[in-house]
Structure 1
Amino acid sequence: MTGAETAVVARLSRLDRWLPVWIGVAMAAGLLLGRAVPGLAGALDAVRVGGLSLPIAAGLLIMMYPVLAKVRYDRLDTVTADRRLLVSSLVLNWVAGPALMVALAWLFLPDQPEYRTGLIIVGLARCIAMVIIWNDLACGDREAAAVLVALNSVFQLLAFGLLGWFYLSVLPGWLGFAGAALEVSGWAIAGNVLIFLGIPLAAGYLTRVLGERAKGRDWYESRLLPAIGPAALYGLLFTIVVLFALQGDAILGRPWDVARIALPLLAYFAIMWAGSYLLGRAIGLTYARTTTLAFTAAGNNFELAIAVAIGTFGLTSGQALAGVVGPLIEVPVLVALVYVSLWARRRFFPTDPTTVTRGSR
């Protein structure tokens, strides 16, 4: 590691620097809790919000709130004026991403229609939650992340059901295979977006407006944000523990199936992130916006994917298992890509002003 790279890592908090370790511990703790405490999974899943268990929903909201409180909302116009960024994000999320997941699902799982369908649902559900964390850890553009997540949420309302019908019903018919019906309510998707994006976005916006009005921006960013910032990673770790506790039996009971589902997911996250990163650099985006473009394109809305898979095909279905494996692979892979992004910043954006100014969070 060079001196410049060491400096990048040094500017991260201790919690951030050791995040892969904490995530590994959280995964193991969730699996152990799920196996050691009888009835824990049922208790955690007893109350559901937006198709997810209440503890997971609470963890996601806690995770997203501090990062959205960091966004400078008075700078959003600089993002909405960047047509290269907006158009690239829409194409990556609603053309390239779903098509790539469909291709990989058919390539890796030609004999497993249930798992294949579950992966396609994951590919159709564009990210609105955890991407906020990965983008912030990689020193991406917070304002751009807020805009792109909101933009893709609107398109999710319009395109999720239509693309699901095409890729799961129409396309298999063209190829001579039996299709699968995807019945999903537009209101269900709207509720999911409202809960997991609308609530923390409104809370973050009000916190900044009221905090700056009462004490000023300097106090807000030097005193309040450092105080609430760690809650984002605590929420992430809590969510991982609960998720693994809920799905431990499925993961440990069908390890070969999990491995088969994991392979196309690994390929998907790597290809989408790398391709989006290269595209951002090719069209002249800054490091911060290139990073934001890459993470918003590579991440997926697992809360929506799991809810749709369980609601349509049942809790014990292969589609639901594929949806559950999605975040279990996405979390460690995108954490690794955070460090790849920090390494690539010095290599590919040496003269970018954000390489210096966005170093600390």
Structure 2
Amino acid sequence: MAKNIGFFEKYLSFWVFLCIIFGILLGKFLPDLPMYLSNITLSGVNIPIAVLIWFMIYPMMVKIDFSAVKNLGKSHLFKGLSITWIINWLIKPFSMFLIAYFFLVTLFSGYLELLPLELAKEYVAGAILLGAAPCTAMVFVWSHLSKGDPLYTLLQVSTNNLIILIAFAPIVGLLMGLSNIPVPYDTLFISVILYVVIPLVFGYSSRIYFLKNKGIEWFEKRFIPKLNNISVFGLLLTLILLFSFQGDLILNNPLYILLIAIPLIIQTYFIFGISYMWGFKWKLPHNVCAPASFIGASNFFELAVAVAISLFGIESGAALATTVGVLVEVPIMLSLVKLANLTKRRFKIV
């Protein structure tokens, strides 16, 4: 079993590529199925995707030992939270805006004349939505793949979910130059419940049940190893659904997809680089530094896509930009996971 898991995760980029292609083709040739699934929503949250995200998050949640909460006062945990708070809310949204505006408006629209100006501004709006929404669900997958601390990962996601409720709308409004931007707060709250609260309660409850009835040896040596592929399967099925929803937009705009992707790729590596080097200089353990860097580098794309569609429409440039964010994020984040794992030995051991 372990050998199969290693092989599967080793070639995860290949499976991701196949699932993206399959999702686009599914939306092209069997459009009724993704259309039906895309309509199963609750306050802007797609329920089928939420279920798949549970599969991604549950293996992480069930590993959390809450008796370790007493260790949260350790300096390296607070340092990790400090990095993610500062990067996610004082640097990332503004660097995303500056990088996207330079490439899409100044360079591609102004100097090279590859984009209509109004369309370029819509793409910038989509980039802003991505930049103001740090990752909530997928960071559990990246943390799992890099053997990040499950309890720390949960802690940083929980605190960022609280901050996003307060900071998202003002930051988006400021960067878009608008005074009143309608943000679907019900989507925010329900997303937190679906992507964090429900899998956490289920994971904790099942952990207590299995430890009590099966014992710690069965739990750690037989049950946990069986969960190792569940997160990855959830990720791949989520990609198939997302790209089946947006396949036509991608196929009809190949050049624009490339132009949007450039600033998003630069932004992702830039934010990860700052966080990772900061954590290294602060002598954080790798299992804290890695998830602290992943959460800012990746995005809460479910929220960004939902708000883009709500504000600008499903066929808008902003909606397309947020979808491109999903397209480029997964392979880039896999490369960052690989980089984090390759450099793990340089970090202190706690």
Letter in 2 for 1:227: K
Which residue is equivalent to 2:109?
Answer: none
Counting only pairs closer than 5 Å after superposition, residues 132-281 of structure 1 correspond to structure 2 as 132-169=140-177, 179=178, 181-281=180-280
Aligned counterpart in structure 1 of residue 100 of structure 2, from 87, 105, 108: 105
- Give the conservation status (yes or no) of the 8 Å contact 2:126–2:317: yes
- Give the conservation status (yes or no) of the 8 Å contact 1:189–1:304: yes
Aligned counterpart in structure 2 of residue 21 of structure 1, from 8, 14, 22: 14
**Are 1:43 and 2:36 an aligned pair?**
yes
SS at match of 1:157: helix
Which residue is equivalent to 1:331?
Answer: 330
In structure 2, what is the Cα distance between the partners aligned to 1:308 and 1:265?
18
Which residue is equivalent to 1:124?
Answer: 132
In structure 2, what is the Cα distance between the partners aligned to 1:238 and 1:180?
38
Structural RMSD (CA): 1.9
Residues 242-283 of structure 1: CA deviation (Å, up to 9, x unaligned):
111111111111111111111111011101111111000011
> For the structure 1 residues 99 and 212, does the alpha-carbon distance in structure 2 shift closer, same or farther, using more than 3 Å as the test?
same
- Report the count of equivalent residues: 334
SS at match of 1:21: helix
> For the structure 1 residues 185 and 28, does the alpha-carbon distance in structure 2 shift closer, same or farther, using more than 3 Å as the test?
closer
- Give the conservation status (yes or no) of the 8 Å contact 2:184–2:307: no
SS at match of 1:84: helix
SS at match of 2:267: helix
SS at match of 1:140: coil
TM-score with structure 1 setting the length? 0.87
Percent of aligned positions with the same letter in both sequences? 32
Deviation of residue 181 (structure 1)? 4.9
- Give the conservation status (yes or no) of the 8 Å contact 1:50–1:307: no
- Give the conservation status (yes or no) of the 8 Å contact 2:43–2:186: no
In structure 2, what is the Cα distance between the partners aligned to 1:163 and 1:263?
23
- Give the conservation status (yes or no) of the 8 Å contact 1:168–1:181: no
Which residue is equivalent to 1:293?
Answer: 292
Deviation of residue 141 (structure 1)? 1.6
Deviation of residue 215 (structure 1)? 2.4
Aligned counterpart in structure 1 of residue 47 of structure 2, from 36, 49, 54: 54
Q: Which runs of 5+ in 1 are unaligned?
A: 1-8, 170-178, 355-361
Letter in 2 for 1:115: Y
Greater CA drift, 294-303 or 37-46: 37-46
Deviation of residue 180 (structure 1)? 7.8
TM-score with structure 2 setting the length? 0.90
Runs of 4 or more, structure 1, over 4 Å off, are: 9-12
